[in-house]
């Protein structure tokens, strides 16, 4: 029989979509006040994967990602998603969002997004929040699933997540987390 053990901390990552730069800056400041210093941030780039958000947010829409230096407990994801939903509402104009915050967490082998929308591949957490394993790490790169959003399946996003994963790896190593040493991992794969 397996014995339950506490899970090691995970890396908080927030995807930010925005059409209003002032709202983006304010939302970013709020995230930093709540979750601490950022250890990775990509410059905003044009979001062109879908027009799904155009009617609500306007156009053009930009995307950015931030990851936070402080690691979190997996159990914090529900509170974080509810908090980011509140931030979205706060900066909405006439009920339409100007910023969309997508929190998730990274482990060495997967990236998980929080959502309020149920689907057959999502797991209910609590208080109306579900979790989706959006990407998995295999053969030195992030891999998508059939349900992965097209933007998260893109090479650009996967490159961003590789950089964040490297930071997370170093953090886990520094705290004695459960990460294989690279030489051992190469030996197991016969490299």
Q: What is the pLDDT of residues 129-188, one digit of tens each?
A: 999 999 999 999 999 999 999 999 999 999 999 999 999 999 999 988 777 655 344 444
C-beta of residue 165 within 8 angstroms of C-beta of residue 108: yes
C-alpha–C-alpha distance, residues 98 and 90, integer Å: 10
Whether 84 is in a domain gets the answer: yes
Whether 1 is in a domain gets the answer: no
In this prediction the pTM is 0.91
Q: Is the model's pLDDT at 31 over the cut of 80?
A: yes
The domain containing residue 72 runs over which residues? Answer: 11-188
pLDDT digits (tens, 9 = 90+) for 87-142: 999 999 999 999 999 999 999 999 999 999 999 999 999 999 999 999 999 999 99
| Contacts with 32 (C-beta within 8 Å, 6 or more apart), sequence order | 38
Whether 6 is in a domain gets the answer: no
Whether 37 is in a domain gets the answer: yes
Q: Which DSSP string corresponds to 132-188?
A: EEEEEEETTEEEE-TTS-TTTTSHHHHHHHHHHHHHHHHHHHHTT-S---HHHHHHH
Pairing of strands 38-41, 45-46: unpaired
The number of domains in the chain is: 1
C-beta of residue 16 within 8 angstroms of C-beta of residue 63: yes
Q: Is the model's pLDDT at 191 over the cut of 80?
A: no
């Amino acid at each position: 029989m397996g014995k339950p053990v506490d899970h090691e901390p995970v890396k908080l990552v927030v995807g930010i979509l925005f059409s209003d730069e002032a709202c983006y800056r304010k939302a970013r400041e709020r995230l930093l006040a709540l979750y601490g210093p950022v250890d990775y941030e990509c410059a905003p780039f044009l979001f062109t994967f879908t027009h799904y958000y155009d009617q609500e947010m306007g156009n053009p829409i930009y995307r950015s990602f931030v990851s936070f230096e402080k690691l979190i407990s997996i159990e914090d994801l529900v509170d974080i998603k509810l908090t980011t939903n509140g931030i979205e509402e706060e900066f909405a104009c006439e009920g339409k969002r100007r910023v969309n915050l997508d929190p998730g967490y990274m482990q060495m082998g997967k990236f998980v997004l929080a959502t309020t929308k149920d689907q057959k591949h999502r797991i209910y957490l609590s208080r109306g929040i579900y979790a989706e394993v959006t990407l998995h790490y295999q053969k030195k790169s992030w891999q998508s699933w059939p349900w992965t959003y097209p933007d998260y399946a893109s090479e650009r996003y996967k490159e961003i997540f590789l950089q964040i994963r490297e930071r997370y790896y170093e953090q886990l190593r520094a705290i004695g987390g459960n990460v294989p040493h690279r030489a051992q991992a190469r030996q197991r794969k016969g490299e």
